[in-house]
Amino acid sequence: MLGWLGAIDELLRGRHTGPELGARETNGLQLRRMVPAAVVLGGLYGFFMGWFSVRNGAELAGAQMLASMVKVPLLFLLTLIVTFPSLYVFNALLGSRLGFVATLRLLVGSITVILAVAASLGPILAFFTVSTESYVFTVLLNVGLLGLSGVIGCVFLLKALRAVSASPPAPDDLAGVSTPDASSGDIALTTSRVWVGLFGIVGLQMGWVLRPFIGAPGRPFELLRSTQSHVFEAIWRLVTSPIMGGG
């Protein structure tokens, strides 16, 4: 446990996300530390999400809380699985020095940052959960908090990619490619920004597929709901709902 906390602290402070990402395995970004840490942090945020059902006395509120604790880390890990191949192929085509495992480490590290930020926002979510009975507001608050966490995590990812592209090759560079020039680095970063947008879109839809994360008042417990329409239509309906300020 202390090893996880130490690894997360180093990750948040920006260590082990420079040229050494090209190394086969560093002491900082180790998958065997990052994956369990991401699961625990995601489960912690899911715990705070589940408070809404408990507070409102929903049927099987404990089951809803447990489901949320499982779904939050699953949301990000499944989004990683869906989007990772595209980032690796984009980077390979643009001459990135990051190999397959190094790219995977960086993405898992970025998701760990996202979930660490989300877990730190959990007490804020809990405060509003006990301060309002509005289901619509609670859903939008969760979207906002997870969106903020995602933005911070993607900034972390772009910063790490920028550091790698601007640095000279590491001695144990995985791919025997030449150092990209400045223009190639700019193209790679632009492509990475496009991928970040793709990651966000896939993450939103993945959340729609895995819903509900918060039990709706008056509805029985559901592990999953039907996937009618799509997430953007649902967000628009919530924003324009006449009961936005209601209980």
Q: What is the pLDDT of residue 222?
A: 83
Q: Which of 89, 63, 149 has the alpha carbon at shortest distance from 113?
A: 149
Could you list the pLDDT tens digit for every one of the 247 residues in the chain?
Answer: 666 677 777 778 776 665 555 444 444 457 777 888 899 999 999 999 988 888 877 778 888 899 999 999 999 999 999 999 988 888 788 777 777 888 888 888 889 999 999 999 999 998 998 888 888 889 889 989 999 999 999 888 888 877 766 655 544 444 444 444 555 556 667 777 888 888 988 988 898 888 888 878 878 888 887 766 667 777 677 666 654 444 3
Q: What is the pLDDT of residue 145?
A: 94
Distance CA 68, CA 226 (A): 17
Q: What is the pLDDT of residue 176?
A: 40
pTM: predicted TM-score of the whole model, two decimal places: 0.80
Whole-Å CA distances, 208 to 78, 84, 154, 232, 233: 13, 20, 20, 9, 11
Q: What is the pLDDT of residue 141?
A: 92
